[in-house]
Protein backbone atom coordinates (compact mmCIF):
# COMPACT_ATOMS: atom_id res chain seq x y z
CA UNK A 1 0.00 0.00 0.00
CA UNK A 2 1.08 3.57 -0.38
CA UNK A 3 1.35 4.24 3.38
CA UNK A 4 2.09 0.96 5.17
CA UNK A 5 1.93 0.84 8.93
CA UNK A 6 -0.36 0.33 11.88
CA UNK A 7 -3.89 1.67 11.62
CA UNK A 8 -6.53 1.92 14.30
CA UNK A 9 -9.82 1.44 12.49
CA UNK A 10 -13.39 0.98 13.70
CA UNK A 11 -14.72 -2.53 14.26
CA UNK A 12 -16.20 -4.16 11.14
CA UNK A 13 -14.02 -2.16 8.77
CA UNK A 14 -13.84 -3.78 5.35
CA UNK A 15 -10.67 -4.47 3.39
CA UNK A 16 -11.50 -1.79 0.84
CA UNK A 17 -11.94 0.80 3.61
CA UNK A 18 -8.59 -0.21 5.12
CA UNK A 19 -6.94 0.13 1.71
CA UNK A 20 -8.45 3.58 1.44
CA UNK A 21 -7.00 4.59 4.83
CA UNK A 22 -3.57 3.28 3.76
CA UNK A 23 -3.53 5.20 0.48
CA UNK A 24 -4.55 2.35 -1.79
CA UNK A 25 -2.65 -0.62 -3.14
CA UNK A 26 0.43 -0.02 -5.27
CA UNK A 27 0.87 -1.31 -8.79
CA UNK A 28 3.14 -4.17 -7.70
CA UNK A 29 0.90 -5.34 -4.84
CA UNK A 30 -0.18 -8.95 -5.11
CA UNK A 31 -3.88 -8.47 -4.54
CA UNK A 32 -4.61 -12.12 -5.21
CA UNK A 33 -2.73 -13.20 -2.06
CA UNK A 34 -3.91 -10.99 0.80
CA UNK A 35 -3.43 -12.56 4.21
CA UNK A 36 -5.45 -11.76 7.30
CA UNK A 37 -4.09 -12.95 10.63
CA UNK A 38 -6.61 -13.28 13.45
CA UNK A 39 -5.79 -14.21 17.04
CA UNK A 40 -8.22 -16.72 18.51
CA UNK A 41 -9.29 -16.81 22.15
CA UNK A 42 -6.76 -19.56 22.91
CA UNK A 43 -3.92 -17.32 21.57
CA UNK A 44 -3.48 -19.25 18.36
CA UNK A 45 -3.08 -17.26 15.18
CA UNK A 46 -5.30 -18.17 12.24
CA UNK A 47 -4.21 -17.09 8.77
CA UNK A 48 -6.75 -16.76 5.99
CA UNK A 49 -5.89 -15.89 2.38
CA UNK A 50 -8.14 -13.80 0.17
CA UNK A 51 -8.14 -12.65 -3.40
CA UNK A 52 -8.98 -8.95 -3.46
CA UNK A 53 -9.44 -9.08 -7.23
CA UNK A 54 -12.54 -11.21 -6.58
CA UNK A 55 -13.91 -8.44 -4.38
CA UNK A 56 -13.35 -5.79 -7.06
CA UNK A 57 -15.07 -7.88 -9.76
CA UNK A 58 -17.77 -9.34 -7.53
CA UNK A 59 -20.65 -8.50 -9.90
CA UNK A 60 -19.28 -10.75 -12.65
CA UNK A 61 -18.66 -13.78 -10.43
CA UNK A 62 -20.96 -16.77 -10.43
CA UNK A 63 -20.44 -17.63 -6.75
CA UNK A 64 -20.97 -15.47 -3.70
CA UNK A 65 -17.76 -14.48 -1.92
CA UNK A 66 -17.80 -13.34 1.67
CA UNK A 67 -14.94 -11.17 2.76
CA UNK A 68 -14.35 -10.75 6.47
CA UNK A 69 -14.80 -7.65 8.48
CA UNK A 70 -11.74 -6.65 10.44
CA UNK A 71 -11.76 -6.96 14.21
CA UNK A 72 -9.50 -5.74 17.00
CA UNK A 73 -5.99 -7.11 16.66
CA UNK A 74 -6.32 -8.31 13.07
CA UNK A 75 -3.23 -8.02 10.90
CA UNK A 76 -3.54 -7.59 7.14
CA UNK A 77 -0.52 -8.48 5.01
CA UNK A 78 -0.35 -7.53 1.34
CA UNK A 79 2.69 -9.13 -0.29
CA UNK A 80 4.58 -7.24 -2.93
CA UNK A 81 7.99 -6.86 -4.43
CA UNK A 82 10.25 -3.89 -3.80
CA UNK A 83 10.07 -1.37 -6.58
CA UNK A 84 13.20 -0.10 -8.28
CA UNK A 85 13.35 3.52 -9.34
CA UNK A 86 16.28 4.86 -11.32
CA UNK A 87 15.81 8.24 -9.64
CA UNK A 88 17.15 6.69 -6.43
CA UNK A 89 20.41 5.83 -8.20
CA UNK A 90 20.55 9.19 -9.92
CA UNK A 91 20.09 11.09 -6.66
CA UNK A 92 22.77 8.96 -4.96
CA UNK A 93 25.37 9.52 -7.70
CA UNK A 94 24.40 13.16 -8.07
CA UNK A 95 25.03 13.79 -4.38
CA UNK A 96 28.47 12.17 -4.66
CA UNK A 97 29.26 14.20 -7.77
CA UNK A 98 28.17 17.40 -6.03
CA UNK A 99 30.41 16.64 -3.05
CA UNK A 100 33.40 15.96 -5.32
CA UNK A 101 32.86 19.16 -7.31
CA UNK A 102 32.44 21.21 -4.13
CA UNK A 103 35.65 19.73 -2.70
CA UNK A 104 37.51 20.45 -5.94
CA UNK A 105 36.23 24.04 -5.97
CA UNK A 106 37.33 24.47 -2.36
CA UNK A 107 40.81 23.09 -3.07
CA UNK A 108 41.19 25.31 -6.14
CA UNK A 109 40.11 28.43 -4.24
CA UNK A 110 42.48 27.64 -1.35
CA UNK A 111 45.49 27.06 -3.60
CA UNK A 112 45.08 30.34 -5.46
Rg, C-alpha atoms of the chain: 23
Percent of the chain with pLDDT over 70: 84
Residue 29, pLDDT above cutoff 90: no
Q: Is residue 70 within 8 Å of 18, Cβ to Cβ?
A: yes
The contacts of residue 1 (CB under 8 Å, 6+ apart) are 19, 22, 23, 24, 25, 26, 29, 78
Average pLDDT over the chain, rounded to an integer? 81
Calpha distance 1→4 (Å, rounded): 6
**Mean per-residue pLDDT for 18-46?**
84
| 39-43 long-range contacts, CB within 8 A, separation 24+ | 39/73
pLDDT at 64: 59
Q: How confident is the model at residue 43 (pLDDT cuts 50, 70, 90)?
A: confident
Q: Is residue 38 within 8 Å of 74, Cβ to Cβ?
A: yes
Cα dihedral 36, 56, 66, 14 sign = positive
Q: How confident is the model at residue 88 (pLDDT cuts 50, 70, 90)?
A: confident
Count of H helices and E strands in the chain?
3, 3
Amino acid sequence: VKYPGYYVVPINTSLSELFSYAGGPLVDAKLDDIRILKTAEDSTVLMTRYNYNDLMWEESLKTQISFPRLEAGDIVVIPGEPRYFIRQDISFYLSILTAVISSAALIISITR
